[in-house]
Structure 1
Amino acid sequence: MILGIGTDLANIERVERTLARFGDRFRNRVFTPSEQARAERRPDPPATYAKRWAAKEACSKALGTGLRMGISWKDMVVTNLPTGQPVMHLTGWAADRLATMTPPGHEAVVHVTLTDDHPWAQAFVVIEARPVRIT
């Protein structure tokens, strides 16, 4: 069953201007060291940051809160599998919120997809509850 759906559209040029203006202050407030390292290795760091920004916004919407109620930017972390597939990890308040949304006998799975086409970056997040299989 679907527990939540969120989407966000971010302007890459706006993120680029924010990075130029606030630099590490912005990076360190919103992104984990692993997210920053990945972005800085990419040919277009602002696009990578914008996609991850959009993913965090979309995830907060799928959690039904938006960025309020104690959720932190760093409670939502985007990493990538070796195949390149993005994966969303939740910690802190975001993980607690996810646990309260998940019905008994189910496990939550957070699906995320990212895309960009300059000047736009977009993310979709779907939170699914799957029945726990007893073996």
Structure 2
Amino acid sequence: MIIAIGSDLCNIERIQNSLNRFGERFEQRVFTEIERAKGNSRPFTKAGTLAKRFAAKEAFSKAVGTGFKRGVFMKDIGVVNARSGAPTLALTGGAAARLAAITPEGHEAVVHLTLTDDHPWAQAFVIIEARPK
């Protein structure tokens, strides 16, 4: 059963402006090591790559109903790729705790993520499914 849905639209130029203005400090504050490595591996589309990940963090925070409050921080939400190459989320700290809190007893949460971009926009959708154990 679907227990939560979240979406976000992020302006790639806004992320580029933050990179230009704050550089490494912005990246360290918002993105995980894996996300920064992915962005750095794509120098011509780094802002778009990071904007999709920024949108994924926002979409997840909306899906779990907290935004970036109640212990849910951006760096607790990391976009990773499954073995198949499909994007998904690796959760730690408050984000993992919030997901556990909204997951019905006797179920496990499965996070589905889709990302896209078409300059100047990056978009993410998160669907959280509860599957019986």
TM-score after normalising by structure 1? 0.94
- Which whole-Å deviations, capped at 9, do the CAs of 1:45-103 have from their partners, x for residues lacking one? 00000000000000000111111112111110101134431011111011111111111
Counting only pairs closer than 5 Å after superposition, residues 1-135 of structure 1 correspond to structure 2 as 1-42=1-42, 43-132=44-133
State the alpha-carbon separation in 1 of the partners of residues 13 and 57 from structure 2.
Answer: 18
The SS at the match of 2:67 is coil
When structure 1 is superposed on structure 2, of 49-58 and 59-68 the one drifting more is 59-68
Aligned in 2, Cα 1:51/1:131: closer, same or farther, shift over 3 Å? Answer: same
* Percent of matched pairs sharing the same residue: 61
1: distance between equivalents of 2:74 and 2:128? Answer: 18
| RMSD of aligned alpha carbons | 0.9
Aligned length, in residue pairs: 132
The runs of 5 or more residues in structure 2 that have no matched partner are none
Q: In terms of mean alpha carbon deviation, does 89-98 or 49-58 score higher?
A: 89-98
Q: Which runs of 5+ in 1 are unaligned?
A: none
Runs of 4+ aligned residues of structure 1 deviating over 6 Å after TM superposition are: none
- In 2, Cα distance between equivalents of 1:113 and 1:90: 16
Greater shift in the superposed pair: 34-43 or 48-57: 34-43
Distance 1:33 1:96 in 2: 21
In 1, Cα distance between equivalents of 2:124 and 2:85: 15
Determine the C-alpha separation between the residues in 2 that align with 1:81 and 1:3.
Answer: 22
Q: What secondary structure is seen at the aligned counterpart in 1 of 2:78?
A: strand
